[in-house]
Amino acid sequence: MKALVKTEAGPGLELTDVPMPKVGPNDVLVRILRTGICGTDVHIDKWDPWAQKRVESPRIVGHEFSGEVVEVGSEVEGVKVGDFVSGEGHYVCGRCRACLAGKRHLCINTRGIGYDVDGVFAEYFAMPASNVWIHHNPNLSKDVAAIFDPFGNAVHTALQFNTLAEDVLVSGAGPIGIMAALVANFQGARHVVLTDLSEERLELARSLGIEHTVNVSKERLRDFYGQINMVEGFDVGLEMSGSAAALTSMIDHMTHGGRIAALGTPTANVSLDMSTVIFNMLTIKGVTGRRIFETWYAMSALLQSGLDISGVITDRFHYTDFKRAFEVAGDGRSGKVIMAWDE
């Protein structure tokens, strides 16, 4: 079968032939229909310092997908051939303290598909049935199903704190940041303000219904307070950019007792003004991945209740055009980029 592989240490990926994956008694085999390109995949393609430390070659990359089950292992129950699925990309040990307590998202031995183990940028992918999420919504598109992983990041972050009738600041208008802003807005926030440096991405956010955006390269966030009738600062912050400057600014713009959920991963150490955190009694909570599978239930329920995230997908390519797809995904101006494997 064809797969997109980091064949050796260094920049670039190679589309090559690899053996079909083996299906164990507790596994399912999925025919891949669509895949989404994540920022992690871009890091691996560029072979930046994070990738150099984390990824061993050869490695099939990718972790965002939708597909159809074509084979199930002899011990599998609850998943059948023909099911339309996505999958939780974190493999957990099942035996650590968190796993035994039913908190699999906190597993200390987590391995990620597409970087720790082989991933989904391939015609077929085998994974444990316990990681499979079956889509029961007949109106769900292949494309949207393929981005349940990053949508889950957005939902997990946006649900950390109550946003009903609150003023919410979201920093970072990448696809996950936009989806987090949409979720906060859908939950009934009084105002959601989304900040970024990219006018293209802020324009995309506005086209999807995010009314208040601030290009912090051109405008001061504090000057925006009057437009939303806010005096003391934001109640909830969702830091999605990984920018040290964005986190520092967010801390400065929170009201006393404000709560920050941080998903964006910095590429270097961040210095914080702990005096402000302490004396303003702020809460900063780190977030990664999704609650397995509670966040997945929330995602499905939000979509079935009317939340529309389809517009965050801006570009679609056939997998054979992966070089162009990765260029677009890494340019800092696009929304979500999808690759088709079934056409």
Question: Is 40 a residue of the active site?
Answer: yes
- Token pair recorded at residue 135: 């889509």
Alpha-carbon distance of 320 to 169, in angstroms, equals 39
Beta bridge partners of residue 236, listed in sequence order? 168, 259
Strands 59-60 and 90-91: unpaired
The one catalytic residue in 7, 16, 35, 43 is 43
The one catalytic residue in 16, 35, 40, 191 is 40
Query: What backbone phi and psi angles, to 5 degrees, belong to 83?
Result: -65, 140
12: number of Cβ within 10 Å: 13
**No. of H helices and E strands in the chain?**
11, 18
Angle between helices 148-158 and 175-186 (to 10 degrees): 50
**Residue 30 near residue 67, CB atoms below 8 Å:** yes
Q: Which residues of 240-274 are buried (b: 16+ CB within 10 A; e: fewer)?
A: bbbbbebbebbbebbbeebbbbbbbeeeeeeeeee
Long-range contacts of 80-86 (CB under 8 A, 24+ apart): 83/132, 83/134, 84/134, 84/135, 84/140, 84/145, 85/28, 85/30, 85/132, 85/133, 85/134, 85/135, 86/132, 86/133, 86/135, 86/145, 86/146, 86/148, 86/149
Active site residues: 40, 43
